[in-house]
Amino acid sequence: MLSKRYIQVFAAALSTCAASYPVLSNPQIGSVSKSPDDPSKLIITGSGFSFKSHSKPLYFFSFEGNNLSQQEDASFVTGREEAKGTFNSEITPFGKGHSLQFKVIDDHTNTVLPGINFSSDRLYVYFNRRYNFSIGNESTWGPNGLNLKTTRIWGDDGNNIYVGYQGKEGSGSGRIYPEYTATGGSVWLGNRLPQVQNQWTQEEIIYKTSDIGVENGRFDLVRNGNYAHNSSFRMRTSSHDSRYSELYFDQISNGVNASEGLYIYYDNIYIDDSHHRVYISDSSQFSEAKKRLIQVPTKWNDTQIEIIFDNGDISESNSYLYVVDGDGNVNANGAKLCTENCPSPPNSPESLSVQ
């Protein structure tokens, strides 16, 4: 977490913008200082952060403090949702703290979290995950193989979209399919999003509903900073017109050989009904920022954000800050944290679009 010393940040110099790029689009960071009320928080000032209806994410599960529920000071929803599993301090994404260890059993209703409900037309999900098994290994299968839906979002009319794998087809069998509303077959992910064993991955899901009968919905998948999928889907029809409203993680069906001791590990589960977000990375350019550590905002307006600062395993001297607005625009050049002999932060520069 943040050290006791004062921290300032200054924005990295803007690169020359092509003449076709419009101005006044992307967020720009002018300065960051330690919160006078809480030394574990940073206050970010700048421009173009855009309006966010509630500052905190709907849910943030850190699995620290012997807590299986969402972190109260970092979550907008106050009704408690409790994860299933046990705390693990040996297998963690950043070599510190705790993760959640979830045991896989032969029960398709057994999931790490109950269905997470939301009412927005969009959703952003971030989490770290690790499997101790490969679905391509026959020893993990039940009598009918192993069907793994790593992510599934449901609507009230039965329409849903999922990322699924079939054990008999191997670890590269991932596909996306919007059930009951698809305009074609599954979208195959192949080696862009394989199911991997004994590796921590950084997963992001960016969802936005489609209009009824129109193929303009988003279900973007980002792993370790790389897009695995970012094309459009039809998610609603006249007979299945409900928006998706319930999120599930890792549903397993068709049987599983639970005697093999199969576990899934989770950490830093961040769920929000807005696409606004803040990252820390070890890269000075967002286009190269593959390691992206989600930061939890506790206050947010167009010119100022307060975050609970956690740089994971990235050193403070090599930490760069990025703000994403509600439309997905982000500052192209990272704002580097200054830790010693810090100059006064400059005025906020003009915003430039890189999209």
Residues 6+ positions from 52 with CB-CB distance below 8 Å: 274, 276, 297, 300, 301, 326
The predicted model scores a pTM of 0.89
pLDDT in tens, 170-226: 999 999 999 999 999 999 999 999 999 999 999 999 999 999 999 999 999 999 999
Per-residue pLDDT at 38: 87
Which domains, and CATH codes, for the chain?
8-52+278-338 (2.60.40), 59-272 (2.60.120.560)
Per-residue pLDDT at 108: 87
Per-residue pLDDT at 106: 87
Token readout for 225 is 């900073």
Mean pLDDT of the chain: 89
pLDDT grade for 8, boundaries at 50, 70 and 90: very low
Please tell me the least confidently modeled range out of 88-97, 106-115, 287-296: 106-115
pLDDT surpassing 90 at residue 145: no
pLDDT grade for 300, boundaries at 50, 70 and 90: very high
Handedness of CA 170, 173, 179, 182 (dihedral sign): negative
Cα separation of 80 and 131, whole Å?
26
pLDDT surpassing 50 at residue 137: yes
Of 342, 316, 245, 265, the closest CA to residue 85 belongs to: 265
If phi > 0 it is left, if psi is from -120 to 50 it is alpha, else beta; for residue 297 that is beta
pLDDT in tens, 267-287: 999 999 999 999 999 999 999
Between residues 18 and 246, the one the model is more confident about: 246
Between residues 341 and 88, the one the model is more confident about: 88
pLDDT surpassing 60 at residue 13: no
Say which residue the tokens 């913008």 belong to.
Answer: 17
Per this entry, what is the length of the chain? 355
Strands 320-324 and 304-308: unpaired
220 touches 328 (CB < 8 A): no
pLDDT surpassing 70 at residue 354: no
Between residues 96 and 39, the one the model is more confident about: 96
Q: C-alpha 143: how far from its chain's center?
A: 34
Please compute the mean of the pLDDT values over residues 28-39 and round it to a whole number.
Answer: 85
Please compute the mean of the pLDDT values over residues 135-145 and round it to a whole number.
Answer: 89
Strands 335-338 and 320-324: antiparallel
Cα separation of 135 and 37, whole Å?
48
pLDDT in tens, 58-102: 999 999 999 999 999 999 999 999 999 999 999 999 999 999 999
Cα separation of 182 and 108, whole Å?
24
Per-residue pLDDT at 164: 96
If phi > 0 it is left, if psi is from -120 to 50 it is alpha, else beta; for residue 181 that is alpha
271 touches 294 (CB < 8 A): no
pLDDT surpassing 60 at residue 261: yes
pLDDT surpassing 90 at residue 258: no
Residue 205: strand pairing partners: 125, 221
Of 172, 122, 58, 126, the closest CA to residue 291 belongs to: 126
pLDDT grade for 144, boundaries at 50, 70 and 90: confident
Between residues 317 and 159, the one the model is more confident about: 159
Per-residue pLDDT at 339: 60
Per-residue pLDDT at 149: 96
pLDDT surpassing 90 at residue 52: yes
Of 25, 46, 42, 71, the closest CA to residue 269 belongs to: 71
Residue 135: DSSP 8-state: T
Between residues 6 and 327, the one the model is more confident about: 327
Token readout for 184 is 């074609």
Per-residue pLDDT at 338: 58
Q: What 3-state DSSP class applies to 316?
A: helix
pLDDT grade for 17, boundaries at 50, 70 and 90: very low
Please compute the mean of the pLDDT values over residues 2-19 and round it to a whole number.
Answer: 34
Q: Residue 168: is it exposed, middle or buried by C-beta count within 10 angstroms (0-12/13-18/19+)?
A: middle
pLDDT in tens, 306-317: 999 999 999 988
Per-residue pLDDT at 82: 97
Q: What 3-state DSSP class applies to 286?
A: helix
